[in-house]
C-alpha cells in the first residue's frame, strides 16, 4: 500500500472540513476521489500534499505513519499535486514556472537559463502540449496554465500524483493528452489520485473510487463494479436523476439574430439565430471562439462588427451597457472574476444590473430591493440565510444562481450562458438546467456554451458547433458526442495549408 | 458586529484615558481645538472614503487643498464676496477631482500613478499662480468658517457633520453609492452588469476633489492666508483615517462613520501627545504604529470570519 488514511480530521476554526477521511491508494492505480463541493476532497488532498496538517486520525506512507509539515516534505517522499486553481507566477515564463523553487543552477549558483529552457522544451515536446517554454504564463488560457501545472508535477520521479480537477478547463483533445499521461504514469507504478466532476471521464480513467460526503468517506469500491446511479447516490446521499431531460417547447419569435459577425481574430463570419423558448447549444474545442463570440455579442470586444438583431430590431451594441439595455444577459464562464461581487451582499448582486428601476432620481428604494431579492431567492431556490449574506460565501451552484438572478430581476430576454455548470455540484447542475428551462418556457432565448457534451445533449434543442472561429455546422439536440466532435475537429482547408 | 465596534471603542477608550491623564483635555478650549484641527482632514477623508471604496486612491488631495484655498482667497483678495470666494475654492477642488477621474478612466492608468502625477502638477501650478507667495488680503469675517461658533459649537463641526451626513446618504442610499461599492468590489463584474463604470468613477473623484476644495477653504480660514504650500502630507492623514475606520485599499469596504472615527482617533492621538508633552518626533512613531495596528486587527477579523 502506497498511502493509507484512516479517520483523518481537519477543522478550520469551528468548521469541520473533514471528520472521517479514509483512503487507500496502491502503486500503479488510478484512484478517483468523488464528492460534491464541500465534501472535503480538496482538504483531504491538501493534507496528503502537506499543505494542511491533520488534526486527528492516521496517515501512513508506505506503511509508516507520516506527518508533513509543508509541501516540500511531501515532495521529498515523492508526492506531487496538480492544482485546480493555478498557483503559478503569472509574470514568469512557462519554463521558469515549471522549475520554480528548483531552478537548475549553473556555475557560481547562477540560474542556468539555457538548460532550463532546453529541459522545459523537451518536457513540452514529449507530451505534444501546445506551449512554448518562453511564453509568459499570464498570457495563457486557463487550459494552458493547467498544462504548465502538469509539467511542473511530472518533471521528477513522483510516486504519488494528485490531480485536482485537471480537465475542468481543458478541451477534449487536451483531456485525452492528460489521460495519456495519467496512464503512462500508472503503468510505471505511480499511484494517481484523480478528482473530477465529469462523470463521463470516470470510466475511461479510473481503477478504484472513493466517495466523500460531508467530510466523511462513505464508500470505496472498484470502478468496474460500481454503477453510475449508486455512485451518485453515495455522493448526494439521495436519489438524483443522473440524466436531466428537457422537453423542448415550440419556438416563438426570433429573439437574437447574428449575421456575418466577426470579432477578429477569434470569431469569423458567424451567423446564427435563437428564437424565444429555445436553448441553443454552442459546442467546440477550447479556442474555437465560443466565449469570444458571446463577449463580442455582449459588446465587450471593440473590434467586433457585423449584423445584430434583438427581437427583430437591429441593435447597435458597443458596450455591455448597450447590451444590457437591449435585453441581453451574459452569465460569464469566469464567475469569480466577472460575474459576482463576492464581498458584497447577495441582495446587492441581485439588483446590480437593474438598479435604475428601483432608484428614482438616483435614490435607492431599499424595501423594493429587499422584496426583489426575497423573490429571486425563492424563485431560484438560492440556499442562504439572508439576502444580506456575502455572495462569495455561497456554494458554487448558489453563486451561479445569484449571477442568473441579476439578469432575471433586470428583465433580460436573451441569455448567453458561458459554461454555466463549471465548478458546480451534480445536484446544483440540475437546478441550473431547471432555471434555464423555466426561462425558456417563459419566452427567453438562450445560447449556451458548454464543453460538457453530455450536458449539451441533455439541455439543448439544437447544437451549433464552432471550429476556428466559424460555425462548422448545426446538429439536432438528439445528436451524439461523436457527431459533435467530428464537426469540432475536422481539419479545415486553412490548417492543411499551414 | 462586536469587532466592527472596535474602532469606536478605541476612540472612547482613548477619550477616557486622556480625560484621566490630562487635566487640560476636558476643557472647552481644548476640545474645540481638536475639532478644528481634525475638521480639515476629516472633510478630505470623507471624499477619500468614496475613492477608496471604489478601490482607488487619491494622492493629490494635499495639493488640491492648497489650490482650492489659494483660488478662494485670491478671489476674495480681488474684491469678491466671501461666498463667491468659498464657492471658487470648492469648485476648483471639484475641477481637479474631475481631472483625476477623467485621467483614471480614460488613460486606464492606476489611480496611484495618476494622482501621484497630479499631486506634483497641482502643487506646481499653485506655486506658479501665486508666485510662491501666500495671499493675505482676506476679509476678517472669513475667519468665521474655521474659527466661528454657533451657540458654543464650532461652526466647522456643524459643517463636518452636514458633509458626513450627505456623503453617508450618497454611499448608503443612492445609486452612485451602490455603484461605488460594486466598482470597488469587482470592477469587471460591474462592467459586465452594464454599470456605466467610467462615468461613476469620474464622479467619485470629482466629489473627492469638491470636498477637498472645501477643506482647503477651512484651512485658509484657520490660517487667514491662502498658502500654496498648505496641505502637504494631508493625503496620508486622510487615507489613514479611512483605513483605520475599516476601509480597504482593495476596495468594496468602508463607511462614513468608520472614517470619522478613524479621523478623530488620529486627532485625539496628536492632541494627547501634545497635552502629555510627548516629543513630536515620537508622535509620528505612535501614529504610524496605530495605523499598522488598526489595519492588522481588521485583517484578522476578516480572516477569522471568512
Place of cell 448567453: A416
Given A176, A203, A236, the domain boundary residue is A236
CB atoms within 10 A of CB A303: 11
Contact A324 B193 (CB under 8 A): yes
Residues A269 and A226 both lie in one domain: no
| pLDDT given at position A171 | 67
Q: For residues B93 and B75, what is the distance between their CA atoms, to the nearest angstrom?
A: 14
Burial of A483 (0-12, 13-18, 19+ CB in 10 A): middle
With beta carbons under 8 A apart, name residues in chain A contacting B174.
Answer: 359, 362-364
Nearest of B247, B279, B280, B244 to residue B265 by alpha carbon: B244
DSSP label at A98?
H
DSSP label at A490?
P
Q: What is the pTM of this model?
A: 0.81
Query: Is B127 touching A (CB cutoff 8 A)?
Result: no
Query: Is B175 touching A (CB cutoff 8 A)?
Result: yes
State phi, psi for A16 to the nearest 5 degrees. -90, 115
Q: For residues A479 and A473, what is the distance between their CA atoms, to the nearest angstrom?
A: 12
Looking at the complex, report in whole angstroms how far the Cα of residue B186 sits from the nearest Cα belonging to chain A: 5
Contact A324 B194 (CB under 8 A): yes
Query: Which tens digit of pLDDT belongs to each residue from B251-279?
Result: 999 999 999 999 999 999 999 999 999 98
Q: Report if residue A417 sits inside a domain.
A: yes
Residues A144 and A275 both lie in one domain: no
Give me the residue spans of the domains in chain B. Answer: 3-301
In this prediction, the residues of chain A whose per-residue pLDDT falls under 50 are 492-498
Place of cell 476633489: B209
Of B176, B188, B195, nearest to A338 by CB-CB distance is: B188
Place of cell 451582499: A345
Looking at the complex, report in whole angstroms how far the Cα of residue A201 sits from the nearest Cα belonging to chain B: 32
Domain extent for A94: 3-236
Residue ranges of B 219-238 with Cβ closer than 8 A to chain A: none
Q: CA torsion sign, B283 to B284 to B285 to B286?
A: positive
Looking at the complex, report in whole angstroms how far the Cα of residue B255 sits from the nearest Cα belonging to chain A: 14
Q: CA torsion sign, A343 to A344 to A350 to A355?
A: negative
Residues A299 and A207 both lie in one domain: no
Residues A198 and A290 both lie in one domain: no
Query: Is A14 touching B (CB cutoff 8 A)?
Result: no
Contact B174 A13 (CB under 8 A): no
Nearest of B204, B235, B224 to residue B65 by alpha carbon: B235
Of A13, A341, A359, nearest to B189 by CB-CB distance is: A341
Residues A201 and A317 both lie in one domain: no
Place of cell 510662491: B132
Q: For residues A255 and A415, what is the distance between their CA atoms, to the nearest angstrom?
A: 10
Query: Which tens digit of pLDDT belongs to each residue from A261-272?
Result: 999 888 999 999
CB atoms within 10 A of CB A302: 10
Burial of B173 (0-12, 13-18, 19+ CB in 10 A): middle
Looking at the complex, report in whole angstroms how far the Cα of residue A320 sits from the nearest Cα belonging to chain B: 5
Residues A55 and A140 both lie in one domain: yes
B contact test, residue of A343, A349, A369, A394 with most B CBs within 10 A: A343
State phi, psi for A49 to the nearest 5 degrees. -85, 5
DSSP label at A13?
T
Contacts of B61 (CB under 8 A, 6+ apart): B44, B47, B48, B208, B209, B212, B215, B231, B234, B235, B238
With beta carbons under 8 A apart, name residues in chain B contacting A325.
Answer: 194
Q: Report if residue A245 sits inside a domain.
A: no
Contact B186 A406 (CB under 8 A): no
DSSP label at A400?
H
Residues A170 and A292 both lie in one domain: no
Residues A282 and A216 both lie in one domain: no
Contact B173 A340 (CB under 8 A): no
Contact A355 B175 (CB under 8 A): yes
State phi, psi for A203 to the nearest 5 degrees. -70, -30
Number of independent structural domains in chain A: 2
Given A236, A263, A287, the domain boundary residue is A236
Size of interface A-B (CB pairs under 8 A): 79
Yes or no: say if B118 and B100 are a contact pair by the CB < 8 Å rule. yes
With beta carbons under 8 A apart, name residues in chain A contacting B179.
Answer: 355
Query: Is B296 touching A (CB cutoff 8 A)?
Result: no
Q: Report if residue A403 sits inside a domain.
A: yes
Residue-by-residue DSSP string for chain B:
-TGGGHHHHHHHHHHHHHHHH-TTTTSHHHHHHHHHHHHHHHHHHHHHHHHHHTT---TTHHHHHHHHHHHHHHHHHTT--HHHHHHHHHHHHHHHHHHHHHHHHHH---HHHHHHHHHHHHHHHHHHHHTT--B----GGGGHHHH-EETTEEHHHHHHHHHHHHHHHHHHHBHHHHHHHHHHH-HHHHHHTT--HHHHHHHHHHHHHHHHHHHHHHHHHHHTSB-TTTTTTHHHHHHHHHHHTT--TTSS---HHHHHHHHHHHHHHHHHHHHTT--HHHHHHHHHHHHHHHHHHHHHHHHHH-
Q: Report if residue A416 sits inside a domain.
A: yes
Query: Is A139 touching B (CB cutoff 8 A)?
Result: no
Q: Report if residue A327 sits inside a domain.
A: yes
Residues A185 and A129 both lie in one domain: yes
Residue-by-residue DSSP string for A302-357:
TT-EEEEEETTEE----SHHHHHHTTEEEE-S-IIIII--TTSBHHHHHTGGGGGG
Q: Tell me which chain B residue has its CA closest to the CA of residue A410.
A: B193
Residues A214 and A107 both lie in one domain: yes
ipTM for the assembly:
0.89
Residues A182 and A72 both lie in one domain: yes
With beta carbons under 8 A apart, name residues in chain A contacting B252.
Answer: 341, 343-344
Q: Report if residue A241 sits inside a domain.
A: no
> Which CATH number is B3-301's, of 1.10.10, 1.20.1070, 1.10.3470, 2.60.120?
1.10.3470
CATH of the domain at A483: 3.40.50.300
Of B179, B181, B189, nearest to A339 by CB-CB distance is: B189
Q: Report if residue A248 sits inside a domain.
A: no
In this prediction, the residues of chain B whose per-residue pLDDT falls under 70 are 1-4, 303-306
| pLDDT given at position A452 | 81
A contact test, residue of B186, B187, B248, B254 with most A CBs within 10 A: B186
Q: Tell me which chain B residue has its CA closest to the CA of residue A299.
A: B192
Q: Report if residue A38 sits inside a domain.
A: yes
Amino acid at each position: 500500500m502506497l498511502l493509507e488514511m484512516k479517520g483523518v480530521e481537519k477543522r478550520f476554526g469551528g468548521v469541520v472540513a473533514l471528520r472521517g477521511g479514509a483512503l487507500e491508494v496502491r502503486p500503479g492505480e488510478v484512484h478517483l476521489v468523488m464528492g460534491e463541493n464541500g465534501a472535503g476532497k480538496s482538504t483531504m488532498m491538501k493534507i496528503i500534499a502537506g499543505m494542511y496538517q491533520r488534526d486527528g486520525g492516521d496517515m501512513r506512507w508506505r506503511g509508516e505513519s507520516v506527518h508533513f509539515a509543508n509541501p516540500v516534505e511531501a515532495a521529498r517522499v515523492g508526492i506531487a499535486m496538480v492544482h485546480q486553481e493555478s498557483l503559478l507566477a503569472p509574470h514568469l515564463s512557462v519554463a521558469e514556472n515549471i522549475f520554480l523553487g528548483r531552478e537548475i543552477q549553473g556555475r557560481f549558483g547562477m540560474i542556468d537559463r539555457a538548460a532550463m529552457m532546453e529541459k522545459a522544451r523537451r518536457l513540452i515536446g514529449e507530451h505534444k502540449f501546445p506551449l512554448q517554454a518562453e511564453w509568459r504564463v499570464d498570457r495563457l488560457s486557463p487550459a494552458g496554465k493547467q498544462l504548465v501545472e502538469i509539467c511542473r508535477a511530472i518533471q521528477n520521479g513522483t510516486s504519488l500524483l494528485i490531480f485536482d480537477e485537471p480537465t475542468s478547463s481543458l478541451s477534449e483533445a487536451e483531456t485525452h493528452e492528460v489521460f495519456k499521461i495519467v496512464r503512462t504514469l500508472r503503468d510505471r507504478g505511480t499511484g494517481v489520485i484523480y478528482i473530477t466532476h465529469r462523470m463521463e471521464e470516470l470510466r475511461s480513467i479510473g481503477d478504484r473510487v472513493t466517495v466523500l460526503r460531508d467530510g466523511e468517506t462513505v464508500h470505496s469500491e472498484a470502478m468496474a463494479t460500481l454503477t453510475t446511479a449508486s455512485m451518485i447516490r453515495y455522493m448526494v446521499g439521495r436519489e438524483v436523476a443522473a440524466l436531466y431531460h428537457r422537453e423542448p417547447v415550440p419556438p416563438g419569435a426570433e429573439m437574437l439574430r447574428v449575421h456575418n459577425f466577426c470579432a477578429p481574430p477569434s470569431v469569423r463570419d458567424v451567423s446564427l439565430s435563437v428564437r424565444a423558448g429555445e436553448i441553443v447549444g454552442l459546442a467546440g474545442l477550447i479556442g474555437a471562439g465560443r466565449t469570444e463570440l458571446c463577449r463580442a455579442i455582449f459588446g465587450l470586444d471593440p473590434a467586433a462588427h457585423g449584423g445584430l438583431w434583438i427581437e427583430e430590431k437591429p441593435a447597435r451594441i458597443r458596450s455591455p451597457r448597450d447590451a444590457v439595455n437591449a435585453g441581453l444577459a451574459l452569465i460569464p464562464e469566469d464567475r469569480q472574476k466577472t460575474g459576482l461581487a463576492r464581498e458584497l451582499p447577495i441582495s446587492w448582486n441581485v439588483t446590480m444590473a437593474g438598479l435604475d428601476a428601483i432608484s428614482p432620481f438616483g435614490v435607492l428604494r431599499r424595501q423594493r430591493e429587499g422584496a426583489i431579492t426575497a423573490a429571486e431567492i425563492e424563485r431560484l431556490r438560492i440556499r442562504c440565510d439572508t439576502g444580506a449574506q456575502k455572495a462569495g460565501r455561497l456554494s458554487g451552484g448558489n453563486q451561479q444562481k445569484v449571477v442568473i438572478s441579476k439578469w432575471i430581476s433586470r428583465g433580460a430576454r436573451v441569455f448567453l450562458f458561458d459554461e454555466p455548470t463549471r465548478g458546480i455540484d451534480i445536484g446544483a447542475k440540475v437546478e441550473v438546467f431547471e432555471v434555464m428551462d423555466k426561462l425558456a418556457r417563459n419566452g427567453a432565448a438562450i445560447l449556451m456554451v458548454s464543453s460538457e457534451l453530455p450536458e449539451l445533449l441533455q439541455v439543448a434543442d439544437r447544437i451549433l458547433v464552432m471550429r476556428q472561429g466559424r460555425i462548422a455546422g448545426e446538429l439536432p439536440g438528439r445528436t451524439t458526442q461523436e457527431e459533435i466532435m467530428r464537426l469540432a475537429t475536422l481539419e479545415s482547408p486553412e490548417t492543411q495549408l499551414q | 458586529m462586536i469587532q466592527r465596534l472596535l474602532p469606536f471603542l478605541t476612540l472612547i477608550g482613548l477619550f477616557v484615558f486622556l480625560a484621566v491623564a490630562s487635566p487640560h483635555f476636558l476643557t472647552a478650549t481644548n476640545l474645540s481645538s481638536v475639532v478644528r484641527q481634525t475638521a480639515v482632514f476629516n472633510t478630505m477623508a470623507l471624499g477619500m472614503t468614496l475613492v477608496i471604496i471604489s478601490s482607488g486612491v487619491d494622492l493629490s488631495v494635499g495639493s488640491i487643498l492648497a489650490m482650492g484655498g489659494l483660488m478662494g482667497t485670491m478671489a476674495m483678495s480681488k474684491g469678491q464676496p466671501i461666498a463667491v470666494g468659498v464657492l471658487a475654492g470648492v469648485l476648483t477642488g471639484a475641477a481637479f477631482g474631475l481631472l483625476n477621474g477623467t485621467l483614471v478612466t480614460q488613460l486606464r492608468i492606476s489611480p496611484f500613478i495618476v494622482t501621484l502625477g497630479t499631486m506634483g502638477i497641482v502643487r506646481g501650478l499653485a506655486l506658479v499662480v501665486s508666485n510662491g507667495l501666500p495671499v493675505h488680503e482676506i476679509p476678517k469675517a472669513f475667519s468665521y468658517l474655521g474659527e466661528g461658533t454657533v451657540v458654543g459649537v464650532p461652526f466647522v463641526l456643524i459643517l463636518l457633520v452636514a458633509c458626513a451626513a450627505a456623503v453617508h446618504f450618497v454611499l448608503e442610499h443612492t445609486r452612485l453609492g451602490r455603484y461605488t461599492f460594486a466598482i470597488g468590489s469587482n470592477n469587471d463584474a460591474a462592467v459586465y452588469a452594464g454599470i456605466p463604470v467610467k462615468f461613476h468613477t469620474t464622479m467619485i473623484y470629482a466629489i473627492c476633489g469638491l470636498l477637498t476644495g472645501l477643506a482647503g477653504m477651512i484651512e485658509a480660514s484657520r490660517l487667514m492666508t491662502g498658502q500654496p504650500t498648505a496641505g502637504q502630507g494631508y493625503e496620508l492623514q486622510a487615507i489613514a483615517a479611512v483605513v483605520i475606520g475599516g476601509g480597504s485599499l482593495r476596495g468594496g469596504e468602508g463607511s462614513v462613520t468608520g472614517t470619522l472615527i478613524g479621523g478623530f482617533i488620529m486627532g485625539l492621538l496628536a492632541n494627547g501627545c501634545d497635552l502629555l508633552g510627548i516629543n513630536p518626533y515620537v508622535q509620528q512613531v505612535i501614529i504610524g504604529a496605530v495605523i499598522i495596528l488598526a489595519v492588522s486587527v481588521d485583517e484578522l477579523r476578516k480572516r477569522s470570519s471568512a
